[in-house]
Structure 1
Amino acid sequence: MSKVPGQAQDKASPLSHSGQQRRDFLKQSAAALGGATLAAPLLTGRARASAGTPETRTAKLGFIALTDAAPLFVAAEKGFFAKHGMPDVEVLKQSSWGTTRDNLVLGSRRNGIDGAHILTPMPYLISTGAMTANNQPTPMYIVARLNLAGQCISVGREYADLKVGVDTTEFASALAAKRARGDAVRAAMTFPGGTHDLWIRYWLAAGGIDPNSDISTIVVPPAQMVANMRVGSMDTFCVCEPWNEQLIRQNIGYTANTTGELWHNHPEKALGLRADYVEQNPNATKALIKAVMEAQMYCEQPENIEEVARICSRRRWINAPYDDIIQRMQGHFDYGTGRVVENSPHRMRYWNDQASYPFKSHDLWFLTENIRWGYLPRDLDMQALVDSVNREDLWRAAAAELGIDKSAIPEGTSRGKETFFDGKVFDPENPLAYLDTLAIKRMR
């Protein structure tokens, strides 16, 4: 497998390919799957003039009611879409990630959507047909990352005495005892192969819990997590805010960890767009990216956090109490176990720490973990797929037009080696070597 390329692109790089070549590659990838189910903002001054007028004034963008969708809320509320020539952008609430996928497959021409706030692996799972009806691929692009970290893993109050954290050793014994009594044990996530699925699987497996045999993994939409925990539908779940905070406030469970403790500054959600929308509307696409970039900068500024939390709380967006949102958005984490962390280094990042840039090396990790759990085949050409779906070139073009200071733009497309809480190291130049070090997995 070729290594993650640097900033300079060879003339034969997929980044220089036409839209048709990208589509051809995605079709070939889908066929290869065999139909199996698989710091403060830095601007150099005034934003530079756009390279071209947007081809359309509109886009339909989906979102799930989570705080990491805040850049879309803010771009709509503060007029950033309109500022960049896109006054008719619609930001539309979706009931689940499955609904998001289905509406992306439909596209806006068939009353669906053009793009979405989305779990980073989903554009790959949709593009290859690994997680679509009849395994039919719908080519998609990732054009920006929306945030880093900020998710949490929660457990039910029946495990209050354990005070479960990043170490699941004692939790494993408690789950085994519960199974021995004949009771079901379940872990909930939001979409197969999505970020929440991968975080909770990694966490469980690191402590010796096999998520394929020791616990049942179920899919629950984010907004339904707390209600399902209340009635005993699961023992643990992974989701974004405000649902972990609500679990504590309703005395139903507590936070075991925030996912940044598993992998510091890990990539999370992305801005994903249908490939045909991007190819037909390249200037409009850059306008959307620029609007989202400005919104990300706005969300990151400390003086704006209270306003951003109030925007998130509105019925139009998350429809949750402000008090359930503001604390963790500010970095104040009360885990519900007596553990309280102020100014957490693992709070969600929207812009700082290069949160907006879609590193290709990170997408390689997501694909590797999807291979680990059997959603994608081991012989998948991961690098070629990343080069076809990840459009960091459009992010760079938008950043140049917006006048982003060069110090805020990565020099290359890899963030380098990544180290996880259990000491495992992912080298994007050799993903399969990392995969081979993992004891618990389910590959095909």
Structure 2
Amino acid sequence: MTLTPVRIGFLPLVDAALPILARERGFAEAEGLAIDLVRDATWAAVRDRLLYGHSDAAHLVAPLAIATALGRDRPAVPMAVPFVLGLNGNAVTFSTRLADEVELGDTLGDPHAIGAALKVAAGTRRLRFGVVHRHSSHNYMLRYWLAGVGIRPDTDVDIVVTSPLFAADALAAGDVDGICVGEPWNSIAVDRGVGRIALATAQIWRRGVEKVLAMRADTAERDPDRVARLIRALHAAAEYFVRPDTVEDTAALLAQPRYLDAPADAVLRAITDRIRLSPGAEPVRYPDFMFQHREAANFPWRSQAAWLYSQMVRWEGIAFDEGDAAVAAGTFRPDLYRAALAGSGAVLPGASSKLEGALAEPIGAGATQGRLMLGRDGFFDGRAFDPDDVAGYLRSLP
């Protein structure tokens, strides 16, 4: 059988697992695909490789796909996100000096309490935090938390960009006082003795969208069959990823030099929801620290894209625009997800948007296929986001 080639760009992060597993465990081949994976060091390089035709799809931070479609920092290129590769999985890690100043404990603390202590520290010197890209969920999650505890980003603290691969080095050199990055780079900073984990981003927005499969919209339109086969391969990889009997195999695979080039134990901790908060400490368990597959986690909810757009407006000094909001939400393509998985065992939500952050307890939701349960998805400040009233939501924020 002749396999159809698909080249996918990625960064060495645990949440690149699904395309790696699709390639290495035969899920792509079962769909008639041959995945070629291209490793990069920055999100800008992954995006540029995609836009200039050096790759067909990418493991990408979700807001960067939206920013690309809107023409932020460069000419606009319509984008399509037909599959979410994971929710949450990031952390906020302080330098050991800052961790001592705010007296971090031995467990994941309360975001409000840590924020209050951080506000005191920020009053004594100008703190600097590193995030992986201006258009990243890391940047927006960090800013959302800081603003919610009374610390003004860009006024009280500085936020700069650092590659995930070099985030621990930036902490060690004293270039930043904290980082918000994906795994395994927080754990590597801790294991090196240069940082302590303060918060999981799941504490800021539980079930927050993180990495996605992104492609140019014209790629999706030109070969919808190839896109559908890729979605099915990734969906099968997600089922494999969450099986308890596969986690050690997956960690060993991801740790290889051609993929993450990281200690297998650090990778294994991330995919089993165990976090080592400080050097030498026993890992603590935080359920759903990294969230894949269950509760239709791979479904591209347009309401999640709309929230990311709201934060882009909030933090980049641009005016809210109904047309831009529609482009942002339309970048996520639940229609492609449903078309690919119709008739399979996958759960397919009946709606394409939902109220974000409103669930305090698990609840059943409408589905056109399968039975859908949605778990708690709250923001740390108790707010909810209505994708039908983005302007009103923005007016309500501090």
- Structure-2-length-normalised TM-score: 0.88
Q: Is the 8 A contact 2:141 2:205 kept in 1?
A: no
Match for residue 404 of structure 1 among 338, 345, 357: 345
Structure-2 separation of matches of 1:400 and 1:224: 41
Shift, 1:398, TM fit:
1.0
The RMSD of aligned alpha carbons is: 2.0
Gap regions ≥5 residues in structure 1:
1-52, 180-184, 440-444
Q: Distance in 2 between matches of 1:229 and 1:375?
A: 29
1:429 aligns with 2:370: no
Contact 1:193 1:375 survives alignment (8 Å): no
Counterpart residue identity of residue 393, structure 2: Y
Q: How does 1:122-137 map to 2 (within 5 A)?
A: 122-132=64-74, 136-137=75-76
The equivalent residue for 2:14 is 67
Matches within 5 A, 1:202-213: 202-213=144-155
Paired-residue identity, %: 29
Distance 1:291 1:277, change over 3 A: same
CA distance in 1, matches of 2:318, 2:29: 39
TM-fit CA distance, 1:369: 0.7
Residue ranges of structure 2 left out of the alignment (5+ in a row): 358-377
For residue 140 of structure 2, the aligned residue among 172, 189, 198 is 198
User: Using the alignment, how far apart are the partners of 1:297 and 1:72 within structure 2?
Assistant: 13
Work out which of the residue numbers 75, 79, 87 in structure 2 matches 1:148. 87
Which residue of structure 1 lines up, in the alignment, with residue 352 of structure 2?
413
Deviation at 1:392, TM superposition (A): 0.9
1:65 aligned partner, one-letter code: P
Alpha-carbon distance between aligned partners in 2 of 1:436 and 1:122, rounded to the nearest angstrom = 24
Shift in CA distance, 233/82, structure 1 to aligned 2, threshold 3 Å: same
Take 1:414 and 1:323, find their aligned partners in 2: how far apart are those partners?
Answer: 37
Regions of 4+ moved over 3 Å: 337-343
| Aligned counterparts of 2:188 and 2:388: Cα–Cα separation in 1 | 40
Aligned residues between the structures: 370
Cα distance, 1:387–1:226 mapped onto 2, change above 3 Å: closer
Q: How far 1:382 moved relative to its partner?
A: 4.5
State the secondary structure of the residue aligned to 1:178: coil
Alignment of 1:261-276 (within 5 A): 261-276=203-218
1:163–1:337 Cα contact (<8 Å) kept: no
**1:160-171 equivalences in 2 (<5 Å):** 160-161=99-100, 162-164=102-104, 165=109, 166-167=111-112, 168-171=115-118
Alignment of structure 1 residues 68-107 onto 2, 5 Å: 68-87=15-34, 89-107=35-53
How far is 1:376 from its partner?
Answer: 4.5
Deviation at 1:340, TM superposition (A): 6.4
Kindly indicate whether the alpha-carbon contact (under 8 Å) linking 1:130 and 1:375 is maintained by their aligned counterparts in 2.
no
Paired position in structure 2 for 1:6: none
Which residue in the other structure is 1:57 paired with?
4
Label 1:304 to 1:376 Cα distance change in 2 as closer, same or farther (>3 A): farther
How far is 1:137 from its partner?
Answer: 1.5
Give the match for residue 346 of structure 1: 288
Structure 1 residue 138 corresponds to structure 2 residue 77: yes
Query: CA-to-partner distance for each residue in 1:325-363, whole Å, 9 max, x for gaps?
Result: 111211122322898675422321210121110111111
Q: Which amino acid aligns with 1:82?
A: E
Q: Following superposition of structure 1 onto structure 2, how do residues 210-225 of structure 1 map, counting pairs within 5 Å?
A: 210-225=152-167
Amino acid in the other structure paired with 1:421: F
Alpha-carbon contact 1:163-1:256 (below 8 Å) kept: no
Secondary structure of the 1:373 match is: helix
Q: Which residue of 1 aligns with 2:303?
A: 361
User: Letter of the aligned partner of 1:430 in structure 2?
Assistant: D
User: In the alignment, which residue of structure 1 is the partner of 2:271?
Assistant: 329
Per the normalisation by structure 1, the TM-score is 0.79
Q: Superposition pairs for residues 309-328 of structure 1, below 5 Å?
A: 309-328=251-270
> 1: distance between equivalents of 2:258 and 2:103?
36
On the 8 A contact 2:355/2:384 being kept in 1, the answer is no
Which has the bigger relative contact order, CA under 8 A and spacing at least 6?
1
How far apart are residue 380 of structure 1 and its match?
A: 4.2
Residue 442 (structure 1) aligns with: none
